[in-house]
Structure 1
């Protein structure tokens, strides 16, 4: 059973319940964020980078630590091109299945892999997207205590089940709106179509007047609109 029709409903339910997570950017501005999970992948990510370069689009990548360790030069290439980097765990294990120590170590190992590959301070990588979008309230509190920021989503076209390029494109265009965070995948699942999907989506969204921004810019928008005491 495909869950793509359910995700917009989940978004509407979960967003108000967990307001500390970043679910979207400013809805009064016609900006959207392209995000990619599960990479970097040695075949799929370079093709995706070529598409982003062609349109000069800044995206945000949420990496698995094990994939960074396998492809350090590619990880560094993504970083050097100015794309945003976040954590997706060391392997694709749902956070609720991990103990507190296992979760902390998974994120630390991923930060260390990024630090080694990109020659940066891994602790500067603070954005986390839970695999499968799953978490428990206790884990949100822990992530906040450890200094991480949880990034979720607005548009989830379920590309990882490979329903076809046109299907993912149609689902995305039907759900997108101002401030949307779009989730696609450049890893083992879904990655074979990601460059073609992205190449089809970007010009259509640009024609609709959208501007592509990083997840970090959405955090900055949120800080500016935060009510003052």
Structure 2
């Protein structure tokens, strides 16, 4: 029961029985006391009783009211911190706490290692994954994920043609079905097609769905272009032991990247180029996007910043003496089976 207002009466011996005031209670006095009193007996409401109070408690200068507000906030904050401190001191002294930590830490450590193997582009925990070349010469490979996209892929192709550069495009099967002519154009211009799954599902690697999705994408690319890629880049770079094993059975090589050029990092062109140049080196595999999964009409699929940065980046790297090659050239692998 909640009594609205602080004017209520109770017998002293009952009040003492419930422990009196709880100075550490976070609720209002009337709520805390009435709740505990209700466990000792009935709480009666007599509407005929009227309490006449003075307004002196609320008729105060504004600055004094403000001071009281901050004083009360500080008091409540102190109680909260004191309660937290007492809780952790009690927990720290408990033998059960140390046993729990001792038993739990290895589990958390194992989960962290497995997640690193699952999501890190450079992890070799579950099997061989290429993320860079040998680095013996100043060569760099440009790769583009999530296409083809009719708005951005042609612009990227035009920039690459301007410099006579060949790149690797990891295409999504559904997008290939939607834009088969654009997919063939990528191939006809001398670029390499790679497998980037059929549906671009974020959780593809958690079950055998990932292997089936990879195979479906390979079949789709072959249907519309006549080639079957030997290179596979998992969506979001996620992979599992069973998906890598399936790729090996299909004679497909899994490739990730050395540095991902993300949309948010491209907001300031000059800073973005400087950062990419710092991260790039001999044998580096750069990841760009010419789409966003199978979504072509969202803010995430906007690749204008990529278009804006790409031309200047290529020019800078060429001035530094770098040569651009496709992934099969960089890694010494077959492009198609």
TM-score relative to the length of structure 2: 0.57
Equivalent-residue separation in structure 2 for 1:27 and 1:18 (angstroms): 24
Q: How big is each residue's C-alpha offset from its partner over 1:165-189, in whole Å with a ceiling of 9 and x where there is no partner?
A: 5154233112000000000000043
Larger radius of gyration: 2
- 1:164 equivalent in alignment to 2:272: no
Choose 90-99 or 39-48, whichever is displaced more: 90-99
| Closer/same/farther in 2, CA of residues 108 and 192 from structure 1, 3 Å limit | same
3-state secondary structure, aligned to 1:33: strand
Question: Which residue of 195, 200, 219 corresponds with 2:331?
Answer: 219
- Aligned position for 1:55: 163
Q: 1:29 to 1:213 in 2, by over 3 A?
A: same
Q: CA deviation at 1:96?
A: 4.6
Report the CA distance shift for 1:153/1:190 in structure 2 as closer, same or farther (over 3 A). Answer: farther
Deviation at 1:18, TM superposition (A): 5.9
SS for the counterpart of 1:38 is strand
Q: What residue is the counterpart of 1:201 in the other structure?
A: 313
Secondary structure of the corresponding residue to residue 78 of structure 1: helix
Contact 1:87 1:111 in 2 (8 A): yes
**Which residue pairs with 1:155 in the alignment?**
259
Structure-2 separation of matches of 1:149 and 1:190: 29
Alignment of 1:113 with 2:220, yes or no, is yes
Distance 1:156 1:15 in 2: 15
RMSD: 2.2
2:153 & 2:169 partners in 1: Cα distance? 10
Cα 1:198–1:215 change in 2 (3 A) is same
* 1:174 aligned residue (261, 278, 297): 278
Answer yes or no: is the 8 Å Cα contact 1:95–1:130 preserved in 2: no
1:20 deviates by: 1.8
> 8 Å contact 2:266–2:309 — kept in the other structure?
no
Alignment length (residue pairs): 206
79-88 or 130-139: bigger deviation: 130-139
Deviation at 1:95, TM superposition (A): 5.1
**DSSP 3-state at the match of 1:25:** coil
- TM-score, normalization: structure 1? 0.82
Name the CA distance, whole Å, in 2 between partners of 1:108 and 1:51.
Answer: 31
- Taking the aligned partners of 2:126 and 2:283, their CA distance within structure 1 comes to 17
Corresponding position: 1:192 with 2:296: no
- 1:30 is matched with 138
**138-147 vs 54-63, which moves further:** 138-147
Confirm or deny: 8 A CA contact 2:205 2:243 kept in the other structure: no
What do the CA deviations read for 1:170-210 (whole angstroms, capped 9, x no partner)?
33112000000000000043522222221111010000110
How far apart, CA to CA, are the structure 2 residues paired with 1:209 and 1:17?
A: 34
